[in-house]
Structure 1
Amino acid sequence: MAAPPAVAPPAAGVPGSGVAGNGVPGSGAPGVASTAQGRTDAGAHPGAPAPLGGLGPRTLALIPGNARQAVVVTGKSRDANRSEAVLYRRTASGWETGTAWPARNALKGWTDDHLAGDLRSPIGVFTLSDAGGLLPDPGTLLPYDESPGFSISGTGFLGEPLDGSFDYVVAIDYNRIPGTSPLDRTRPLGADRGGGIWLHVDHDGPTQGCVSLEERHMRQLLLALDPEQHPVIVMGDAGSLSR
């Protein structure tokens, strides 16, 4: 579960692992959609609506053709740990833009070759299949695991308390098996590639590999995501995503 800047609870998985390489799915290539084995390249969808602003052809080509929701998380630079998240909805006429939310990512920024403990968030395109948290299900359509396993304590990189960081989480399908609780520790690509990369509640500091949003925005996201729309997350620094 892409733990925040400190140590993730044992049941949550390897801290800082997730999408592309160490905190998220994938072995490193931007724009890769995750599968049970880690990820699967998905070609551009013929006749698809107009592309998302700011994303380049290589990244766009990795968004699965059946995806109708995309959370685009864009970092200011390769080494920045602050970013912006926008939920887009795909319609017959193109991608509709939602509200931009402030976000945080890993302490050292982004990488397209994520490894456990590198303190960088993986760059890529990954499916969003499962949610959970310490708090009860707010009404999401995603499978939701309410569990004390999402408890966390201690402090982050800036000395901020981590309590409540996992009140709500959405698992990013990097190096994990979709269809399981975010707490599941199975790592198809191996433990060295990290795992447990999540979207979770912001604790006012950078993460180990996850992406964090303010609690109210996490609730909004959980209520918006619909598995029938095959949601994905597109994440990375602006330069990488523009390719």
Structure 2
Amino acid sequence: MRADVGVVHAGVVRARGSRACGSRARGLRAVALAGAALGLLLAGCSTDPARPSDGAGAVVPALAGPSPPAPVPAEIPGLGPRTRALIHPGTRQALVVTGRGEDSSHATVVLYERNPVGVGARSGSGSGSGTGSGTGSVAAKSTGATVSTTPGWRSVSTVWTARNGRRGWTEHHRMGDLRSPAGVFTLTDAGGRLHDPGTRLPYDQGRAFRASGTNVEGESLREAFDYVVAVDYNRVPGRTPLDWTRPLGAERGGGIWVHVDHGAGTAGCVGVGKPQMRELLRRLDPAARPVVVMGPEEWLGR
């Protein structure tokens, strides 16, 4: 009986040993499989599956995608190619006077500035530019001003109402024709009866700008020349607006200014409100080579 019991006990022991060995083997296989899975997982973390390998473990660099197109510089609205070609490439300020028609004395005025590609430029008060939310502008931290990063031209003023020559516009201005000359002219000199409001242009202030008469429609000129910017038509740039030298001859007229509106058509000048004249004078910068682009809407759109 003891031997039989011993045999049975031994069989039980051997059976238990077999089960223990089987469990140990299954555990080792599970560990091996887990290790392999971990290796694959780690390999997946270290190698971009979307980027092929050269077979030796080295990752083949991905080809660069196409570069985004260069931004197209914005043009001044309403100006056609012939008119734009008259603006010097170095000009960064343009006062655009758009006449209602060839024979109309009513116009609108907008000041534009050109922002070179990749260079920010400050916008002024009353600007139509954005505030930095997806509009090509950002806020300057140091000054609080708005800085545009969009290349090309942008308006830096609101739309101002204006008056031009009583009989409208002409491409061949003559003295006494009561028409404003159409074209692109530089703006180099300023002046007025009142003190300089803060312009960077040369400013000639004095009583000689006081006018006591009336204009061609009988309106008083008393405050019309409180502020003026000389339009460089038939004059010598760099001299006071009061200089009467006429390089093209006296018969071609002259003394064309942007001045304070007196409420009626002019003899050939452009009149805007007094607050707008102050804003214009403070904004114009000789380093920006400012010009005035003036004429009837159809002419400007050529």
Shared fold by TM > 0.5? yes
| 1:94 and 2:94 are equivalent in the alignment | no
The aligned residue for residue 112 of structure 1 is 171
The normalised TM-score by structure 1 is 0.79
The aligned residue for residue 67 of structure 1 is 91
Alignment of 1:223-238 (within 5 A): 223-238=282-297
Structure with the bigger RCO (C-alpha within 8 Å, sep 6+) is 1
Q: 2:275 is matched by which residue type in structure 1? A: R
CA distance, structure 2, for counterparts of residue 113 and residue 155 of structure 1: 25
* Native 8 Å contact 1:48 1:65 kept in 2: no
| Greater Cα radius of gyration, structure 1 or 2 | 2
Q: CA deviation at 1:103?
A: 0.5
CA distance, structure 2, for counterparts of residue 162 and residue 183 of structure 1: 16
Q: 1:113 is matched by which residue type in structure 2? A: H
- Flag the structure with higher helix content: 2
* Native 8 Å contact 1:164 1:201 kept in 2: yes
The normalised TM-score by structure 2 is 0.64
Alignment of 1:138-157 (within 5 A): 138-157=197-216
- From 201, 217, 233, the equivalent of 2:260 is 201
CA distance, structure 2, for counterparts of residue 77 and residue 171 of structure 1: 23
CA distance, structure 2, for counterparts of residue 196 and residue 61 of structure 1: 25
- From 145, 168, 193, the equivalent of 1:134 is 193
Deviations 1:49-94 (A, max 9, x none): 3321100110000000110000000001000001000000100211
The aligned residue for residue 126 of structure 2 is none
CA distance, structure 2, for counterparts of residue 59 and residue 198 of structure 1: 21
CA distance, structure 1, for counterparts of residue 253 and residue 161 of structure 2: 25
Structure 2: segments with no counterpart, 5+ residues = 1-70, 117-150
CA distance, structure 2, for counterparts of residue 233 and residue 66 of structure 1: 14
CA distance, structure 1, for counterparts of residue 72 and residue 253 of structure 2: 33
* Native 8 Å contact 1:49 1:90 kept in 2: no
Fraction of identical pairs, as percent? 58
- From 213, 220, 235, the equivalent of 2:272 is 213
State the aligned residue count. 197
The aligned residue for residue 6 of structure 1 is none
The aligned residue for residue 77 of structure 2 is 53
Tell me, what secondary structure is at the counterpart of 2:94?
A: strand
Q: CA deviation at 1:48?
A: 9.1
CA distance, structure 1, for counterparts of residue 227 and residue 178 of structure 2: 21
Q: Over aligned residue pairs, what C-alpha RMSD do you find?
A: 1.3
Q: CA deviation at 1:157?
A: 3.5
Q: 1:73 is matched by which residue type in structure 2? A: V
CA distance, structure 2, for counterparts of residue 119 and residue 157 of structure 1: 8
CA distance, structure 2, for counterparts of residue 183 and residue 76 of structure 1: 29
CA distance, structure 2, for counterparts of residue 180 and residue 48 of structure 1: 38
The aligned residue for residue 145 of structure 2 is none
* Native 8 Å contact 1:72 1:233 kept in 2: yes
CA distance, structure 1, for counterparts of residue 214 and residue 233 of structure 2: 25
Alignment of 1:9-48 (within 5 A): none
CA distance, structure 2, for counterparts of residue 63 and residue 71 of structure 1: 11
Deviations 1:115-167 (A, max 9, x none): 11100000000000000001111110000000211110122233321101000
- From 80, 84, 93, the equivalent of 2:108 is 84
Q: 1:135 is matched by which residue type in structure 2? A: L
Structure 1: segments with no counterpart, 5+ residues = 1-46
CA distance, structure 2, for counterparts of residue 122 and residue 192 of structure 1: 14
Deviations 1:9-45 (A, max 9, x none): xxxxxxxxxxxxxxxxxxxxxxxxxxxxxxxxxxxxx
